[in-house]
Amino acid sequence: MRFTSQTSTDGVTERSFTLGEIPGVLWTPEDAEPRALILIGHGGGQHKQAPGVVGRALRLAAECGFAAAAIDAPAHGDRPKTAEHDRIITEMRACMADAGDPVPLLAELHTLLAAQTVPEWRSVLDAVGDLGPVGYWGTSLGCALGIPLVAAEPRIRAAVLGLNGTSLASAEAAAGVTVPVQFLVQWDDERVPREEALALFDALASAEKTLHANPGKHGDVPAFEADSALQFFARHLG
């Protein structure tokens, strides 16, 4: 793991890194050992320094004394698309131009991305060393890629997930998730049918799982849910 830059603002240190081909960012509280580490999975079309990712990381570090890490998912941010990514994306565009249903191709893309990103996240965990108990926070694409990660990685002990459903996230992988989960649903999500979101929540094997549903579309998650996610992580990892 090679750190390539470092800045410090309002008590939080932000360091960019590369680990092999993976570009990432690590946020840590400036004046104390982190009490826990939260992995932040960005949404589709976003990247490791999208405003929503940075905002969560800064609050985790400043308000909870937690470290946070984000990486670009394959084909996102600073990372190239492979021929396989290009093929699926081209087919999706053709499908949509033809008024077809792009969901099966999008699901194929998510499966491909998950197969790549799960071992990448695990190598990041190996490389950063012990920063305390680990959580995962990712919705939408970050949920689809996070569920197989949380199922596979025993160091992850709590997760905030959601804004996805059984068409684009793996209910089979969800059945392998056993840690406490807070799961977000947008009640009028234009991208995720409500029953598919509820079915994904149902599929989680966690003894403690809590669903938070709010009115509005995919992008309308109310600000108080970020407060609630911080409280959730503080309860389980703090």
Distances (CA, A) of 155 to 40, 62, 67, 94, 209: 15, 23, 15, 41, 18
Instruction: Give yes or no for residue 212 binding a second copy (CB under 8 A).
Output: yes
Residue 160 · residue 137 · CB < 8 Å? yes
Q: Does 93 bind a second copy (CB under 8 A)?
A: no
Choose among 101, 103, 107, 41: nearest CA to 76: 41
Question: Residue 71 is which amino acid?
Answer: I
Question: Per CB under 8 A, does 220 bind a second copy?
Answer: no
Q: Write down the least CB distance from residue 167 to a second copy, Å.
A: 20
Q: Which amino acid is at 47?
A: H
3-state secondary structure of 167: coil
**Interhelix angle 51-64/224-237, nearest 10 degrees:** 50
211 binds a second copy (CB under 8 A): yes
Nearer to a second copy, 62 or 234 (CB): 234
Binding flag, residue 8, a second copy (CB under 8 A): no
214 binds a second copy (CB under 8 A): yes
CA–centroid distance for 130 within its chain? 20
Q: Are 142 and 169 a contacting pair, CB within 8 Å? A: no
Q: Which of 52, 176, 222, 238 binds a second copy (CB under 8 A)?
A: 222
| Distance, CA of 60 to CA of 56 (rounded, Å) | 6
Whichever of 152 and 198 has its CB closer to a second copy, that residue is 198
Least distance in angstroms from the C-beta of 211 to a second copy: 4
* Cβ closest to a second copy, residue 101 vs residue 220: 220
Amino acid at 73: A
Q: How far apart are the first and last CA of the chain?
A: 26
Shortest distance in whole angstroms from residue 231 CB to a second copy: 7
Minimum CB–partner distance for residue 210 and a second copy (Å) = 5
What is the total count of residues that contact a second copy (CB under 8 A)? 18
Positive or negative, the Cα torsion across 54, 55, 56, 57? positive
Least separation in angstroms between CB 206 and a second copy: 8
Q: How far is the CB of 20 from a second copy (least distance, A)?
A: 39
172 binds a second copy (CB under 8 A): no
* Positions that interact with a second copy (CB under 8 A): 187, 201-202, 207-215, 222, 224, 227-228, 231, 235
